[in-house]
Each structure stands twice: as structure tokens, then as C-alpha cells.
Structure 1
Amino acid sequence: MPDIFDVQMAETYDDWYKTPKGMLVDRIEKEVIYEFLKPQPGMKILDIGCGTGNLSLELAKLGAEVTGVDISEAMLVKAREKAKKENLDIEFYCADVHNLPFDDETFDAVVSLSALEFVPDLSEALKEAYRVLKPGGRLVIGIIGGNSTWCRYYEEKAKKDSTSVFKYAHFLTLDEFLAAMPGEGVQGKAVLFVPPDFNFENEEDALALEEEAQRQGRTDGGFLCAVSYKPLQKRKEQE
């Protein structure tokens, strides 16, 4: 898998999270990630596609034992700088999600936030993530949702800019995403119904729109999150 997140993008990647849009989108996405992940102190968590460490640092601050992997060494340089600055002990590896450098059944949880929609083979990436998960562990994956205003927005960006990373993205509907998840007890949820052209400085209206769409049970959100579990009896069945 090629490194599509280059040095220039790594330099400016975190700037988006400082904007009203970036802050609110991050908040909406993280809410459902944490709802499914339920991080606890001492929990061994692998963050796949960790980028500049946005989620990894938050999880480490909650007391989790975090390992981050990303295909982009430029992104990881930033992640390591941020972790060192905040005195957080996080291990970061440059690795391809299709070939993770970890033994089977290493982590209590594996999480990925807006990364796996960019991989060439989602099914293989999910199998590899599941491989390193301990029996009883949970796999929590968040991706950009297909059939959404955000998906169409990114598709337009890719059409207009041949260098856009979104030309590599594959957007799934919620049903397609849930069908792809390995493991048992698969659940999923769509969020981020606030469209990309909304005035995000008007946070109250944005959250009201979001709340109403979620209440209606809509599935065409700009962000999809799914969780599945590796059964405890897996090891016995193999013996």
C-alpha cells in the first residue's frame, strides 16, 4: 500500500482540528468511537492508521496502553513529537495494515478512525486487525460513510484535484460495512448528518440537526462506526 499522506499533508494535518468544523466533526465521530470502544486504564489498544496521533494521545491520557501504526512515516514523526511533548509513552510503528508486525492475540482492542476507507483491500485489512485481537477483545472501526453528503463532497474534491487523497477512498454504506466486519456481535451506527457546507460556528443548530437525524435512525451519515467481538472460545475450538 503506498504512502498517500505525504510530508506536506503531515505538516498541516492537525490544523483542521483547530477549526470550528474540525472540532465539531471530531467530537461527533469520537463520541460513537468511545461508545463502542469503552477504553479502560491498562487496556492494550492498537490504533490503526493513527496519523499524527490524535486518537492515540487521547486514549493514552485515559490510561490505556496504546500502540499506533500508520503507513506514513511523516505522520508518525508528528505523532512521536506530540507524545514526547505530553510525556506519553506510546509506541508508534510504520507498517502496512495488511501486514501488521504483531503476534496473534496481542491487543484487548483494535481501533481505527477514518483510515481503512483508503486501503486497497478492506476485507484483508479487517482480517489482519482481527488476527491481532485477543479472544474477548473488540474491534472498533470508523470510516467515512457512503451515500452521504460528506462522501459526495470528497468525491467532488477528488474529481477536481488529481492529487487528492480521496481518489484512493472507497465509501461503503452502513449495511455493506457491517457485512464486512469479522467477528461476532456486530453492531454499527451512522453519525455526522451535519453537511460539510454547514456553518459550524453555529454549534447549537448543528448539534440539533445531528440529534434529530440520529433520533430518526438514519443510516446515511458522513461517518460510520462498527464494533465486533472475538469470541472467548476461539482458542479452544482450534485445539
Structure 2
Amino acid sequence: MAETYDDWYKTPKGRLVDKIEKEVIYEFLKPQPGMKILDIGCGTGNLSLELAKLGAEVTGVDISEAMLVKAREKAAKENLCISFCRADANNLPFEDETFDAVVSLSALEFASDLKKTLLEIYRVLKPGGRMVIGLIGGGSAWSMYYEEKAKKDSESVFRHAHFRTLDELIAAMPGENVQGKAVLFVPPDFNFENVEEALALEEKAQRQGRTDGGFICAVSYKPLPKRKELD
């Protein structure tokens, strides 16, 4: 998929979906210049490049070397210093407490044991840091769309996906002060040329507090060590 992966973001649907998903990612991540961020399942570097442009020190990992080749090419073209390496999220090649923040955008649907994978990701997070995880939402119009595609195409990557609900994602998150939010209520068969109509639909659903969005996102924090009280 590496050769054609970025074509999605050039379509009206891809642009708007990316915008909606990124808004909640940034709301929770709050990237700052100098922040050391790990991007899990970085693909061709879409999010990694954006974070680097904001001044973050970014490391991107993915299980696909073909995706990483594209990511490195894009970073070099834009003269961005990003470290991309091939790694499995279940066995990260980093020391404990290495990163200020860890983010993953639509990658961990393919984790068979989400809680176990999140614990490994949490391991490399510094105390005081935050972990932001975004997934395709289970029970949504979008997960049903991908499930239908998987039924029709034996080669579809979504045959290996596990679609969790927002409650399930929140329950799997290690750490403290876990918060979650569902977005992307515009259905996949919508005419994405109608941007204003799509955003109005999105705003109304979010205002109603719905949790069955096509994209779910959660954040948790790694607590700082408690100070020992003086005798």
C-alpha cells in the first residue's frame, strides 16, 4: 500500500477525515517545540512530518519498511530531521521513560491484545508524559464500512483489524486521568465535496455527546513519582 497510501489525503474525503481526526489528536497531544514524541504506526510520515514542523523531536516507528522508505523520502525533501525505524509496537527498541509523549493514529486496530500493546507503549513514556491513541471506532458507520470491504476482498488489510468502542479504548489505557472523545460522524458514503454540510453534521453530533463516531481518541498521563515525605 505504500506507493498509493498518500493518494487518500489528496481526495476531498481524505482531506476532511484527516482534518477531523487531527483536531482531536492535537487537542489531547498539545505538541510543543522541543517535545520528544514517538509516533507509533507512522506509515508514510503524515503526522510525524506535521509534528516536526511544529518543532517537536520526532521518532516514527512502523512495521512496514516500504512505508518507512516513503516517510524518509518525504522528510528529506522537506529538510526535516526525523528518526524513522522499523519496529513492532509490542516490542519497542527504546529504553524505559524515553519520550515526553507517544501518539498513534489509526494503527493499533491491528493489535490483537490492545491492553498489552498499550502497556509496552506506556513503558517508554516519561513520568509526567501523555499517551494519545486514535482508532477507527467500533460499532460506527466507518467500522461497518471497513468490515464490509474485508468480506468482499480477501486481500484487505482490514481482515486483520479489531474495532473497539470508545469505552473499550478508555478501559485499555494505562495511566491516570484518562479522557476520551469520539469524532467523525460524517458517514463514509457522504458527498465530501459538501464541506460545510459535513462540518455542521459533525458539530451537531459532537454537541450531542455521541460516542459512536468513526474515529475514537483517548489520552492518559503517566504520573510523576510521589515525593517521599520527610520525617
Compute the TM-score of the two structures, normalised by the length of structure 2.
Answer: 0.97
- Give 1:235 deviation, angstroms: 9.4
The answer for the alignment partner of 1:11 in structure 2 is 3
The answer for the alignment partner of 1:93 in structure 2 is 85
The answer for the alignment partner of 1:172 in structure 2 is 164
Which sections of structure 2, spanning at least 5 residues, go unmatched? none
The answer for the alignment partner of 1:230 in structure 2 is 222
Among 170, 181, 184, which residue is 1:189 paired with?
181
The answer for the alignment partner of 2:148 in structure 1 is 156
The answer for the alignment partner of 2:107 in structure 1 is 115
The answer for the alignment partner of 2:206 in structure 1 is 214
**Matches of 1:235 and 1:52, distance apart in 2:** 42
**Structure 1 segments of 4+ aligned residues over 4 angstroms from their partners:** none
- Give 1:233 deviation, angstroms: 1.4
**Matches of 2:67 and 2:208, distance apart in 1:** 38
Counting matched residue pairs gives: 228
**Matches of 1:74 and 1:20, distance apart in 2:** 25
- Give 1:120 deviation, angstroms: 2.3
Does 1:144 pair with 2:136? Answer: yes
The answer for the alignment partner of 2:30 in structure 1 is 38
**Among the aligned pairs, what percent are the same residue?**
85
**Matches of 1:121 and 1:168, distance apart in 2:** 12
Among 56, 66, 70, which residue is 1:78 paired with?
70
**Matches of 1:203 and 1:210, distance apart in 2:** 10
CA deviation digits over 1:30-72, x for unaligned, max 9?
A: 0000000000000000000000000000000000000000000
Check conservation: 1:41, 1:63, Cα contact below 8 A.
Answer: yes
The code of the aligned residue for 1:28 comes to I
- Root-mean-square deviation (Å): 1.0
The code of the aligned residue for 1:206 comes to A
Change (3 A) 1:37 1:137: same
**Matches of 2:78 and 2:165, distance apart in 1:** 37
**Matches of 1:147 and 1:234, distance apart in 2:** 40
The answer for the alignment partner of 1:3 in structure 2 is none
- Give 1:123 deviation, angstroms: 1.4
**Matches of 2:86 and 2:28, distance apart in 1:** 26
The code of the aligned residue for 1:101 comes to P
Does 1:103 pair with 2:84? Answer: no
Which secondary structure state, in structure 2, belongs to the residue aligned with residue 40 of structure 1?
A: coil
Compute the TM-score of the two structures, normalised by the length of structure 1.
Answer: 0.94
The answer for the alignment partner of 1:65 in structure 2 is 57
Check conservation: 1:135, 1:234, Cα contact below 8 A.
Answer: no
The code of the aligned residue for 1:138 comes to R
